[in-house]
Amino acid sequence: MQDWLKMSAGDLGRAIGAGKIDPVDLTCAYLDAIDVHPARDRIYARVTHDRALSEAEAARSRAKAEQRLSLVDGVPISWKDLFDTAGIVTESGSALLKGRTPDEDALVLRNATAMGSVCLGKTHMSELAFSGLGLNPITATPPCINDDQAAPGGSSSGAGASVAFDLAVCGIGSDTGGSVRIPAAWNDLVGLKTTSGRISLDGVVPLCPEFDTVGPLTRTVEDAALMLAMLEGDQPVDLRGTTLRGRRLGVLQTSALEDVRPEPLGAFEAAIKRLEAAGAIIEPIEVPELEEAMTLNAVLYTAEAYGVWRDVIEANPQAMYEPILERFRAGAGFSGPDYVSAWTRLRAVRRVWERTCAGYDAILCPTAPNLPPNVKRLNEDREYYVTENLLTLRNTRIGNLMGLCSLTLPTGVPSCGLSLMGTPNGEEALLRLGAAAERALA
């Protein structure tokens, strides 16, 4: 039964369909593992025992009647604590929302339930999702699978930890500037950032609605495809017959390779060689205009985030972790014309990116330029916190700024991910490419 905790969603779903695994037994195995795990309360904000068992019992009945709703019917997953859950506290990692209890589930959770998935509970996260480090002294900081003293990556920190520590089959998170891909990379998982606007944000606590996206953290690319279909209430893309042979991949030179630490750089270079050995055509690519887009981050993110949260924050600012509060308040320094002008400039750069990258199947870069930083030092050294947070999110933010879908894959080097950036709404093609890359990197 312990082997179940390490199986992929796809393999568990097939075993349930074949009558080899009972959904109730599977869910109980996960709930028992969660309840005895020493990091339980650092990973899960709330464990939904009653809901999980009720959903598992329904999945068992459907399986016996051969009326399963999808391949993930009966598969237990975790949800970041910014997805509304009916009658269950949803606080988005912040004391500002302490006790907030929604009346209904977020639309994506309703979709997932309609596909038969089992909700294990809500996972911890960076406060209001505004940090890539995963450090949260207000609620909890989950551990990193490769270093208990290091930050786990955020803001979907508990989502990543729940999967990495075998306490969920998959974790559903959100990604505004890298919040799915960073914890996935630092915990040796697959992470899918979806295209902005593709998946509903109805019932998702916002940070920057223009950039907020929903996405899964999983063990395999197949599982990422299954979770995407689950979130949309649709059928997953067919990943059979994928290959890297003849696929044209660009290695982004602009911004993405600057100041990359030795371990992530070495892992990236080794990964590129494996992709090339599998038949991919690898070419360097420059997008000089991207440098301008990267400078727009300050106004675009902070102005929108502060605009969304200003009244709530200023009614109780002492409830916030100081570095997060400062980051929000930075948005007060920009005017409406500043924000509109920044969006005008960003859209122009997006058009250049689209033209420059049109001939490539994906654009590659290291997911994170750095390794997970030490939590104690982050807490004690404010300058270190700021510089590491900005560096952590630099490469992933490219995908958000350019409006792309993006996939991070483990390279085999601990806490070092390979990022593949696709095209807007090109998730299916990216997942097929990712499945081939996954085999080459294995």
80, 92, 193, 415: the active-site residue: 80
Sheet containing 190-193: order of strands: 44-47, 118-123, 76-80, 170-175, 213-218, 190-193, 406-410, 417-421, 362-366, 248-252, 281-285
Q: Does residue 193 have an active-site annotation?
A: no
CA dihedral 145, 150, 152, 155 (to 10 degrees): 180
Main-chain phi, psi angles of 45, to 5 degrees: -75, -40
Q: Find the helix or strand (DSSP H, E) in which 437 lies.
A: helix 427-441
Give the contacts of 336 (CB within 8 A, at least 6 positions apart): none
d(CA 238, CA 261): 36
What DSSP assignment string belongs to 364-429? EEES-SSPPPBHHHHHH-HHHHHHHHHHHHHHHHHHHHTT--EEEEE-SSTT-EEEEE--TT-HHH
3-state SS track over 173-204: EEECCCCCHHHHHHCCCEEEECCCCCCCCCCE
Nearest alpha carbon to residue 119 among 139, 105, 102, 101: 105
Exposure string (b/e) for 295-306, b if CB count within 10 Å is 16 or more? Answer: ebbbbbbbbbbb
d(CA 104, CA 90): 11
Q: Does residue 78 have an active-site annotation?
A: no
Q: Is 231 helix (H, G, I), strand (E, B) or coil?
A: helix
Q: Six-digit token pair at 182?
A: 């960073």
70, 92, 179, 406: the active-site residue: 179
d(CA 143, CA 430): 30
Q: Does residue 155 have an active-site annotation?
A: yes
Q: Six-digit token pair at 311?
A: 């009244």
155, 255, 406, 415: the active-site residue: 155
d(CA 156, CA 126): 7
Task: Determine contact, residues 45/122, Cβ cutoff 8 Å.
Answer: yes
- Annotated active-site positions, please? 80, 155, 179
